[in-house]
Structure 1
Amino acid sequence: MIRTVFRSEALPPAERLAAFDDFLHTRDPPMRVTSTAPERFRATARARDLGPVHILELACSPSVLRRTTRLIHRSDPAVCAVVFPLRGTLTVSQTGHEALLRGQDFTFYDSSRPLRLRITGPEPTTLLRVHVPWTLLPLPARRADRLLGTRLPAQEGLGALLTHFLTDLAAEVCAYPAADETRVSAVALDLLAATLTHHLDGTLGPPPEPRDCELAGRIEAYVLEHVADPELTPRTVAAAHHISVSYLHRLFRTRETTVTELIRRGRLERARRDLADRRLRETPVHRIAARWGFRDHSAFTRAFRTAYGVPPREYRETRTE
């Protein structure tokens, strides 16, 4: 269920900007805000978490939100964010690009890079920001550089599907059962990944041979079928398909991921689903980790926290209450 997490009207006018700055500074990823008219500043923030998908709807007076190098060093969850205005105008600047967004436009940004979001007036702007861990997307962050801070259209196609779906999630006031929450977050991840890949098509070199596409698809299915095997590695995957490890890596360059990333994401997602399953509440976390191929519990905990923002035990507590 979406909930209000900040409301400036509850505070005296002179305290609103500083309170909102404190609020942003304690969020992950942390940011800072400045305004040329602090005495007239207003902001309301609503948030919703659907597994690894984090939604923030922000209605804010003209101001500038920044994520600096210092803030990145302080805390970086390594997330990909899609942002767009629901009302008003927003300018997003990152990696030398600047996107002026109004109406049906959106852009992406990376939490690991310095960022500026400028909300222009005279009326408040309402924006929607949704972020997910890069580890759950089918391409590494560095391959999306050319899209960061670039204005992208949302009038039709995948852009329209993505922004409409996310807008509906933010508007939905009821809570989902745990199983439906997992399904909805999976749809959001798929739409986000498909939109990123669509806008990168044609910029990453010649298309792969059909034979290579077919083989890579079979390998991906094989990996997901055997992801619980702790012995599953790129070397064993290559051997099972009678190809060299170097050829395996070349195949997956065209899919904007690596076999190692595919194995890790598959294991983490299955462990996450088990942790959210009330029927498995009494199963120790370390056994769930081992069930999905994680030999080292501390390594599993670190990987899970990086991917989903919370340790596995805390995630289970919030999903099986």
Structure 2
Amino acid sequence: MRTTALDTWIDTIRDTFVALDVAAEPTHFTGTVHTRQFAHLMAADVTATSQTFRRTPRLTNLHPRELMQIGMVVAGEGQLIQDGRTCTLGPGDFALYESSRPFTWNLHPEWHLRVFTWPRAAVSLTESQSQELTARTVRSTSPVGQLLSPMLSSLLAADGEVSSGGAIGLAGGLADLAITAAQEECCQPEDPDAGVRDLYVNMVRYIGQHLDDPDLSPTNIARAFFVSTRTVHRVFARFDATAAATIREHRLEACRQAMVAPRNTPRSLTDIATQFGFADLSVFSRAFTATYGTSPSRYREQHR
């Protein structure tokens, strides 16, 4: 299925996978989905333009489905968030996630994702074991990744039909291999601060992507990453920063760049400040002056 209509795309994604909130730019949108069934394993090939998929707590309650899934990036970049972890995937990398708990996929720019879906009942993992394995990047260059990544890549392209017995064995074997790959990643010795560092980097990136949201705050960041607000404050404190100050700094810098951009010459300071989350021009002016040592209007005059 191929479509350029965002509404049709959202319905298709929900029908093919699970109920998700989908955020995408409706102009110049295009997306394709192709699926193939191997007994209780569904393999899907998905391509589209930049977008975000969210399985929110509300959707897990309203539309419960018990699935284990693996997302493997073929092209572009993916970011998967679940169970308090965030992992970033490049071409050939994959990660495990579950539909019974909230998760988020951020995919960009033009991306290609292969999704492999099993009924949760067919997978021999307890919920606590699963929560340890989700959102952990299995690199295509890792020992297990070098074996499994090409196998997953070729599954949809295989010619002919697999017998019913063969399909059942294939589905079960791939699930076991995928779990083994995630367990290997989970058990690798690593920098004890790496998880916190990755979370901090991804939170800062999230801030940069949502500067136009007037409600951007530590609470909203916590909600986006499925952690507590207290955790957000702890993560930023580990890097001698605060979430509020980081939001303000990024907003001020975005305003500074926009003020001197030639294309924005006709725009007022109020318009620019509002675009990046400053609802009060006087608050913006005081913060800008304190940071850059001169008022916004004077800075703009000096750099035209």
Q: Same fold (TM over 0.5)?
A: yes
Q: Paired residue for 2:11?
A: 22
Gapped runs of 5+ residues in structure 2? 190-304
Q: Which amino acid aligns with 1:105?
A: D
Q: Paired residue for 2:276?
A: none
Q: Paired residue for 1:48?
A: 36
Q: Is the 8 A contact 2:42 2:118 kept in 1?
A: yes
Q: Is the 8 A contact 2:39 2:164 kept in 1?
A: no
Q: 1:182 to 1:148 in 2, by over 3 A?
A: closer
Q: 1:74 to 1:129 in 2, by over 3 A?
A: same
Structure 1 residue 81, shift from structure 2 partner: 1.2
SS of residue paired to 2:150: helix
Output the CA distance in 2 between the equivalents of 1:153 and 1:34. 27
Q: Paired residue for 2:68?
A: 80
Output the CA distance in 2 between the equivalents of 1:151 and 1:25. 25
Match for 1:198 among 161, 178, 184? 184
Q: Paired residue for 1:308?
A: none
Q: Which amino acid aligns with 1:183?
A: G
Output the CA distance in 1 between the equivalents of 2:10 and 2:120. 26
Match for 1:63 among 38, 45, 51? 51
Output the CA distance in 2 between the equivalents of 1:148 and 1:183. 24
Q: Which amino acid aligns with 1:73?
A: N
Q: Paired residue for 2:116?
A: 130
Q: Paired residue for 1:92?
A: 80
The TM-score with structure 1 as length reference comes to 0.54
Q: Is the 8 A contact 1:28 1:76 kept in 2?
A: no
Q: Paired residue for 1:7?
A: 2
Q: Paired residue for 1:151?
A: 137
Output the CA distance in 2 between the equivalents of 1:104 and 1:178. 28
Q: 1:89 to 1:196 in 2, by over 3 A?
A: closer
Match for 2:125 among 110, 123, 139? 139
Q: 1:148 to 1:78 in 2, by over 3 A?
A: same
Q: Which amino acid aligns with 1:21?
A: I
In angstroms, what is the RMSD of aligned CA positions? 2.1
The TM-score with structure 2 as length reference comes to 0.57
Q: Which has the larger radius of gyration?
A: 2
Output the CA distance in 2 between the equivalents of 1:181 and 1:191. 15
Q: Is the 8 A contact 1:28 1:75 kept in 2?
A: no
Q: Which amino acid aligns with 1:19?
A: T
Structure 1 residue 202, shift from structure 2 partner: 7.7
Q: 1:73 to 1:165 in 2, by over 3 A?
A: same
Structure 1 residue 120, shift from structure 2 partner: 1.6
Map 1:1-321; keep pairs closer than 5 Å. 6-8=1-3, 13=4, 16-35=5-24, 37-121=25-109, 124-201=110-187
Q: Paired residue for 1:230?
A: none
Output the CA distance in 1 between the equivalents of 2:108 and 2:179. 30
Output the CA distance in 1 between the equivalents of 2:136 and 2:171. 25
Structure 1 residue 48, shift from structure 2 partner: 1.2
Output the CA distance in 2 between the equivalents of 1:68 and 1:19. 21
Output the CA distance in 2 between the equivalents of 1:63 and 1:178. 36
Percent identity over the alignment? Answer: 19
Structure 1 residue 39, shift from structure 2 partner: 1.4
Deviation beyond 6 Å, 4+ runs, structure 1: none
